[in-house]
Structures are given as structure tokens and as C-alpha cells.
Amino acid sequence: MTPELGHFALVLALALGLIQSIVPVIGVRRRDDALMRLGDSTALAQFAFVAVSFSALTICYVTSDFSVATVYENSHSMMPLVYKFTSVWGNHEGSMLLWVLILALFGALVALFGNNLPATLKSHVLAVQSWIACAFYLFILLTSNPFARLAPAPFEGRDLNPILQDIGLAIHPPLLYLGYVGLSIAFSFAVAALLEGRIDAAWARWVRPWTLAAWMFLTVGIAMGSYWAYYELGWGGFWFWDPVENASLMPWLAGTALLHSAVVMEKRNALKIWTLLLAIVAFSLSLIGTFLVRSGVLTSVHTFASDPARGVFILAILVFFIGGALSLFAWRAPLLKQGGLFAPISREGALVFNNLFLTTACLTVFVGTLYPLALEAVTGTKISVGAPFFNLTFGPLFVPLLFAMPFGPLLAWKRGDILGVAQRLMAAFGAGLVMITIVAVAEGSVFTLAPFGIGLALFIMMGAMTDIAERIGLLRAPLSVVRQRAAGLPRSTWGTAFAHFGIAVTLLGIVSVSTWATERIVAVKVGQSISLSGFELTFDGLVQRSGANYRELGGKFTVRQGSVAVATMEPTKRSFASRETTTTEAALMTRGFSQLYLSLGDVNSDGSVAVRLYYKPMVLLIWIGSIVMMLGGALSLSDRRLRVGAPKPAAKPAVQPAE
Amino acid sequence: MTRKQRRLALIGTSLAVLAVAAALVLSALRESIVFFNSPTDVAEKLSAPGTRMRIGGLVKPGSLQRGDNLLVRFAVTDGKNDIAVLYQGIVPDLFREGQGVIAEGKLDAGGVFAADTVLAKHDERYMPREVVDALKKSGHWQEGEEKSTGSAAK
């Protein structure tokens, strides 16, 4: 009964979606308030029905109802409860249901919090949002029904892919989807603006919070996926330039560019058409990402399924929305009023620089990800484009961007003074140079990644702090004044500083791990020791255990520093009988921001065990940086200027001096 | 600067950055892409030793040998031809005889493939697509062998 209820709720959501796709648009044409307002109720109802559908599927999983095909395929009665929940989206059908749930959630949020939007814009946004939702409802109902029944019902499920039975991967997809799908709001706003043929600075103010929220989730989602790959795949890599990872990186890059160009639009009423295009592109890249992952056109370290029929359907959605939006853009954009041009040396100039490099870097990732597919389709030649390609293209394009980052926030709007800014950044620059020298001497070489990377990271951190220090008059004004100014500083300024600081923290982690990580891959017998980077690990023996739905082989190791035992580590291998699958659970020992990483390989016939041992200096900074970035986004989101529904202060601009 | 000059400066800079990016992409494509070959491709094309490539197929049953220092020898087969592969390190969890595998490395002068990376599938039902195609080409693939129901969140 429950699955049928869920299925029916989804069909009802589709019906509501179709109404919402058409009626508000007619309302706008006829200037009929009642019709336009209908979109609000349908958006809320749509969310309610998708939520019912999603809950129904969740109930099927939690109660292990193996008469439902997806539950049979992806669950097991012995599985711990938490994974029964997470396996709801640990498969294609369920994850698409999660996708539409989040899509409907965002639609409902616009309906709830969009009261300060002009009625026509709101109607259009909700209608466009509903077009996307309908396409995905149809996709689920026609090609990937999560509620399909099996008769007769099997007694036991086939278990969730063991590699997904992990809490990191459990929360990674929802976060990523919140990011992907959040960008749909920016897309809907852009298409709505094109439909209306009108766009102004206020548009940017409405779009920015949604983009910011999506960006925050995307940032943490990507970081979460990276951390999961790091500890679960057993070889300690944090980023593989895998097509699936690139699929999430591209929307992030475009979304980051959008955040910055929307600032220019809001403050200076310029870059309007560009911002619109970016909003379309950012969500298009999310759709492309979904297509790449869901259609099975890729071979990647972690894509699992392939089904051509689904691929074709998603491709059709892709072509319809991206092609449609871009055609609309080509047709309507020339009608929009152009924004002003501005001096190259200015805040807006710096933001254009940011956009130029971010989009170009995004383009190289796009080429590297899709070129193998295009080549294979055209010539049949199979190639793989891996890390070397991206290091040679993405890297060089990101360096100027990172270097320019501290300058941007310090430059004034309209006409900036680059020399003045350079002077104020002197301390940061000096610190960077000193750092380069220290690292270069320690390394014995200047022309390597480490000195420049770490110098650059320090420069960005100091630059972010300089910005704040300058604004609050640190070291110049008395402390009470400083405190007052710090409290009065717009939250978005703090947000910028945090986000930029976070990037530098991540950079520091990446450079440090890429340069100084050490590894040993050896076979050890009981009693033997391995030494690495000042640690000595002694193999004490193997232990067998059984878990809820697996058997586990663990290796016991004692870690010594000098001659003092500091910790024990126990990496394991888990065998899941239901899928004849093994996973590697690495053991991690954290010291400060660095980690000792130990994973188990095969047990050899002579009783020795193969192990991988890595020392990863400062590795945690990679992910901590992303959390700092997210905090920056949160601070910026809490800025009263952006608070959704905040009344526009009357005649305020006269009082506020231009920054 | 006049309006016109500003616009020119903007367009000029954009084009310059794009040109640099294009140059980077083209040179990187020439240097860093890796071609995928099936054992039959390798046998027929007589690929030059020393070129980096990927090979894929099934781990030939009975060919797996483990030596000292984590040395692993196995043969990759597509049913028609085999390639001997030498790898030092830890093979993935799901590396097994008779299962699909992709190896990346170089062919040495003696025709042995020295792999530095070995990838296996991630799921007992999933087969790397390249491997499927290679097996189809050599006629050692039965339709329906791969069940396409399995999937993952990522």
C-alpha cells in the first residue's frame, strides 16, 4: 500500500506541476492576480506531495519491504538503521526522487519568502521552476520508478553497495543536490527576467541569496565527497579529476563567478546580461553533471550504473532547458537595457577579472571532461584525460585568480587606486615573500610548487585580514572604536574575508600534501615494523570480527614516536557476503592538521599482510578551508541587505557613502 | 579612457585569456592524454614500447601470480589475445580472476605491460564500459550479461 501511495503522490505532484507551469503565466498575461497567486499554493502543495512520496519510499526502506524492486536491489534486512535511511538515495531511482524533493523545496521557499518580489516576476519564476520539476517528475515516472513492485517478493535484499555504507557518503549527495538544485532558482530568475524583458539591480539582490545558499551547499558537498574518497577508497587521494567530480566542480566555478558578477550588477547596475548568462550556465552545468553521472556515459572511479534509455531522456531534458534558455537569451537579451561600462582598475574591474578567469578555468574543465566523450563519439578512439591535463590547464589559470584575490575587496568602486592598494597589501606581500624564501631554503629549491603555493596562500590570508583590519581601523583607532566598527561592518564584508581566507586554507592543505606527503607500500609479518616520517608502526597481528552485515578482518598496529607508544591503529577490510564485495576501511591518526593513514591490502600466503602507509601533512586543511568558505557564505547570507523580505529602507542611499 | 577604449580593453583582455587557455588546453591534450586499447588492439597495432596507455579486459583465470615485494603478475585478456601485466603494489579490493580490470602504464620492449595503476570495478555487477566494448569487439560478450540496475549516489 505504501509504495502505491508514494507513486500516486508523485503523480499528483506532476499534475500540480503542470498547473503551476501554465496558470501563473496566463495570469501575468491577463493581469489576473488570482491566477498569478495560484503558483504560491501549488508550489507548497507540490512540495507536500513530493515529501509524501519521499517519505513513502523511506518507509519501504526502513521496514525492508523487498516487494519494492529498488529496496530489494539496494537494501538488506540486517543493515544498520542509519544506512536503511541513506540507501533511499544510494541508488539511481531514489536519488532522483531526492533531486525533485529538493527542487520542490526550493520552489516552496520562493513561494513562502518571495513576498517582496514583484508579482509578475514571482509568477514567472515559479512557473519556470515548475517546468524543470515536471521534466524530472516525468523522468522518474517514465524511466526510473522507485516504487516498481516485484512479484513474488524476495525474502532478502541484495544489500546496499558496501562502499556506500558510510556516513560520509550518506550526507554527501543531499548536500551536493542542495547545491545543484539551488542553482535552479537562479536559472528560473534568469529565464523569468528574459520573459519579462526587464532586469535591474534589484533582480541581482533577489537572486544573490539563493545563489549564495546553493554555493554553500555545493562547497561543503564537494568537500564531503572529497573527504569520503580520501578515507574510503583506500589510497589517500583527495581529488582525482574524475569526470564525476568535475561534474560538481563546474557548477561550483560558474556559481562562484555568478556570486561575484551579481555583486557588480547590484551595486553598479552593470554586467547585467553577463550575470543573466552565468545564471543560465551555472544551472546548465548542474544538469550536465546530472546527465554525466546518471546516464552512464562515463567510466569513472565511481560511476556505477548505465542505462541508455535514461541517458536519452536526461539528454532530452538537457537539450530542452539549456537550448531553450540560451535561445531565449539570444532572442531577448538584446532587448534588455545595457549596463554601464567602467574603468578597468576598480572593484568592478577586479570582479570582471575574477569572472574571466573563473569561467575560463571552468571551460578547461569542461573541455577535459567532455573531450574524451566527443572524440569517442566521432572517431571511436578511447582516451582518458586525467590529472596531468588539469594540472597543466586549470592550475595556470587559477594562479592569477588567486593572486588577484586580495586586491579585489580593497579596490574602490568606480575608480580604484591600484598603487594605494598595493601599498596597503605590502605587509601581506612581504609576509608571502618571506614565506617563499623560508620554504625555498628548507626545500633547497625555488622552482617548485611548495614555496610559491605556500607564499601565495599566506598572501591571500594576510590580504583577507588586511581588508578587515583597514576597515575597522585596527592599530590606528582606539580599541573601543575598533570594536564598534567591527560590529558595524556589513556581514557581507566579513563573508568575503572568510571565504577568501578559506580558499587560502584549502590551498595550503593541497600544496602541503602534494609536496610533503610520504608513503610506504610494503608487506609486513607479525612483529615487523614500518617506519615513516618519524613514526614507527609495529604489526601486532590480525583479528577477525563480524559486524551487522559483514565480516571484518583487522590488522592491529602500534604506533611509536621515538620509543614511546602513542597510539594503536586498526585498519580493516570488510567482506559483505550478500554482494561478494570487500571494502577497505583505512585507519586514521590525526596529529594537529596532519594525518597518518594506514590501509590494509591482501593477506599473502606466507602470512604477511600488504599495507599502505601514508603521512599526509596538513591534509585536514583542505576540508577545513571549505568549511571556512561556507561560513563566509553564511555570514554574507545573514547580511541585512540580502535578508529576504527585509523592507527597503527609504532614502537610505543619501546617508550611506559609496564604499 | 573613452568608452570605446574601455570596451576594447575588456574585449582584448578576455580574448587574450581565452587564447592562453586554448594554448594550454591544446598543449596539455598533446602531452597528457592516454589512449585505451584492448589486448587485440595492442597485438594488432604493435604499439610502440614506452607509450603510456590504458589496457582493459578480463583478468585471465589462472594467470594471477604473486611474488615478493608485492609484485603481481597477471594476464589481461579479451578472449582473443592476452597481455602479460606486471604491477607492484596493492591491487584493488575487487581485483579477481575472471573479472574486469583496467591497467595504466607502459609496454616494455619484451611485450610485458608494466602497470603503475590498476583499476577494478566498484560493484560486483558493474563492468568498466571500455572493457565491455573491448569484449564485444572480440565477440566474447553475451548480451544481458551486465545488469544495469545497480547504481550509486555519486
The string of DSSP codes covering A102-151 is HHHHHHHHHHHHGGGS-HHHHHHHHHHHHHHHHHHHHHHHHH--TT-B-S
Of residues A164, A234, A356, nearest to B152 (C-beta)? A164
Tell me if A154 sits within 8 A of A72, measured CB to CB.
yes
Report pLDDT digits (tens) over B81-95: 888 999 988 888 778
pTM (two decimals): 0.90
Separation between Cα atoms, residue A58 and residue A354, nearest integer Å: 43
- Which candidate, A482, A473, A511, places its Cα nearest to that of A593? A511
Report pLDDT digits (tens) over A323-342: 999 999 999 888 877 766 67
Q: Check pLDDT > 80 for residue A305.
A: no
| Domain final residue pick, A164, A196, A231 | A164
Domain total for chain A?
Answer: 4
Confidence of residue A296 (pLDDT cuts 50, 70, 90): low
Tell me if A306 sits within 8 A of A299, measured CB to CB.
no
Q: Are residues A525 and A476 in the same domain?
A: no
Tell me if A259 sits within 8 A of A276, measured CB to CB.
no
A192 to chain B, closest Cα gap in Å: 28
Residue of B nearest to A245 (CA): B154
Q: What is the DSSP string of B12-62?
A: HHHHHHHHHHHHHHHHHHHHHEEEEE-HHHHHHHTPPTT-EEEEEEEEPTT
Asked if B89's CB is within 8 angstroms of A360's CB, the reply is: no
| Domain final residue pick, A136, A164, A192 | A164
Q: Are residues A67 and A42 in the same domain?
A: yes
Of residues B54, B91, B122, nearest to A304 (C-beta)? B122
Of residues A303, A385, A523, nearest to B70 (C-beta)? A523
Mean pLDDT of A486-495: 89
Q: Are residues A183 and A326 in the same domain?
A: yes
Tell me if A212 sits within 8 A of A633, measured CB to CB.
yes
User: 3-class SS at A571?
Assistant: coil
Confidence of residue A659 (pLDDT cuts 50, 70, 90): very low
pLDDT of residue B154: 34
Q: Are residues A151 and A174 in the same domain?
A: no
Q: Which domains does chain B have, with CATH numbers?
A: 35-137 (2.40.50.140)
Residue A157 domain-assigned?
yes
Q: Give the three cell numbers for residue A36.
A: 498569478
Residues of A with Cβ-Cβ distance to B104 under 8 angstroms: 384
B23 to chain A, closest Cα gap in Å: 9
Asked if B153's CB is within 8 angstroms of A173's CB, the reply is: yes
Residues of B with Cβ-Cβ distance to A364 under 8 angstroms: 21, 24-25
User: 3-class SS at A411?
Assistant: coil
Separation between Cα atoms, residue B148 and residue B141, nearest integer Å: 15
Separation between Cα atoms, residue B54 and residue B103, nearest integer Å: 6
Q: Are residues A156 and A172 in the same domain?
A: no
Residue A16 domain-assigned?
yes
Residues of B with Cβ-Cβ distance to A169 under 8 angstroms: 153-154
B85 to chain A, closest Cα gap in Å: 18
Tell me if B51 sits within 8 A of B41, measured CB to CB.
no
Tell me if A465 sits within 8 A of A585, measured CB to CB.
no
Mean pLDDT of A176-192: 93
Residue of B nearest to A601 (CA): B90
Mean pLDDT of A625-632: 96
Tell me if A396 sits within 8 A of A454, measured CB to CB.
no
Whole-number CA gyration radius for chain A: 27
Of residues B29, B70, B93, nearest to A389 (C-beta)? B29
| Domain final residue pick, A340, A366, A398 | A340
Residue A279 domain-assigned?
yes
Q: Give the three cell numbers for residue A570.
A: 586498526
Confidence of residue A185 (pLDDT cuts 50, 70, 90): very high
Asked if B154's CB is within 8 angstroms of A172's CB, the reply is: yes
Separation between Cα atoms, residue A244 and residue A250, nearest integer Å: 10
Residues of B with Cβ-Cβ distance to A95 under 8 angstroms: 151, 153
Residues of B with Cβ-Cβ distance to A396 under 8 angstroms: 20, 24
Asked if A303's CB is within 8 angstroms of B154's CB, the reply is: yes
Asked if B70's CB is within 8 angstroms of A305's CB, the reply is: no
Asked if B27's CB is within 8 angstroms of A341's CB, the reply is: no
Confidence of residue A641 (pLDDT cuts 50, 70, 90): low
Q: Domain holding A20: CATH number?
A: 1.20.120
> ipTM of this predicted complex?
0.81
Q: Check pLDDT > 50 for residue A303.
A: no
- Which candidate, A250, A236, A509, places its Cα nearest to that of A362? A250
Measured CA distances, B82 to B12, B37, B75 (Å): 54, 12, 6
Confidence of residue A135 (pLDDT cuts 50, 70, 90): very high
Amino acid at A94: G
Residues of A with Cβ-Cβ distance to B151 under 8 angstroms: 91-93, 95, 304-305
B130 to chain A, closest Cα gap in Å: 8
Q: Are residues A499 and A433 in the same domain?
A: yes
Residue of B nearest to A397 (CA): B21
What average pLDDT does the structure give for chain A?
87
Residues of B with Cβ-Cβ distance to A395 under 8 angstroms: none
Of residues A302, A343, A521, nearest to B6 (C-beta)? A343
Q: How many CB pairs under 8 A join A and B?
A: 164
pLDDT of residue A373: 83
Name which residue leads in pLDDT, A52 or A298.
A52
pLDDT of residue A155: 83
Give φ, ψ of A453 to 5 degrees: -60, -45
Q: Which of A76-80, A141-145, A563-567, B1-5 has the lowest mean pLDDT?
A: B1-5
Asked if B66's CB is within 8 angstroms of A604's CB, the reply is: yes
Separation between Cα atoms, residue A137 and residue A454, nearest integer Å: 48
Q: Which of A248-252, A450-454, A534-538, B5-9 has the lowest mean pLDDT?
A: B5-9
B128 to chain A, closest Cα gap in Å: 6
Report pLDDT digits (tens) over A115-125: 888 889 999 99
pLDDT of residue A473: 83
Residue of A nearest to B1 (CA): A343
Report pLDDT digits (tens) over A562-590: 888 899 999 998 888 777 778 888 999 99
Residue A52 domain-assigned?
yes
pLDDT of residue A158: 80
Q: Are residues A107 and A189 in the same domain?
A: no
B110 to chain A, closest Cα gap in Å: 24
Residue A291 domain-assigned?
yes
Q: Are residues A141 and A3 in the same domain?
A: yes
Asked if A612's CB is within 8 angstroms of B90's CB, the reply is: yes
pLDDT < 70 positions in chain B = 1, 46-48, 121-132, 134-135, 137-154
Separation between Cα atoms, residue B106 and residue B86, nearest integer Å: 10
Separation between Cα atoms, residue A527 and residue A595, nearest integer Å: 23
Q: Are residues A102 and A194 in the same domain?
A: no
pLDDT of residue A297: 65
Domain that holds residue A301: 166-340
Asked if B124's CB is within 8 angstroms of A581's CB, the reply is: yes
Q: Are residues A53 and A186 in the same domain?
A: no
Element at A213 (helix H, strand E): helix A201-232
Confidence of residue A604 (pLDDT cuts 50, 70, 90): confident
Residue A409 domain-assigned?
no
Report pLDDT digits (tens) over A21-36: 999 999 999 988 888 8
- Which candidate, A423, A429, A426, A438, places its Cα nearest to that of A403? A429
Confidence of residue A647 (pLDDT cuts 50, 70, 90): very low
Measured CA distances, A591 to A92, A245, A557, A596 (Å): 38, 28, 17, 8
Residue A387 domain-assigned?
no
Number of other residues whose CB lies within 10 A of the CB of residue A151: 5
Give percent of chain A above pLDDT 90: 48
Residue of B nearest to A382 (CA): B36
Residue A467 domain-assigned?
yes
Measured CA distances, A490 to A202, A493, A635, B144, B150 (Å): 18, 5, 9, 61, 49
Separation between Cα atoms, residue A188 and residue A24, nearest integer Å: 14
Residue of B nearest to A383 (CA): B35
Residues of A with Cβ-Cβ distance to B28 under 8 angstroms: 388-389, 392-393
pLDDT of residue A308: 66
Q: Are residues A425 and A499 in the same domain?
A: yes
pLDDT of residue A42: 94
Q: Are residues A450 and A522 in the same domain?
A: no
Separation between Cα atoms, residue A357 and residue A346, nearest integer Å: 17
Site from B1, B45, B93 to mutate, A interface, most A CB atoms within 10 angstroms: B93
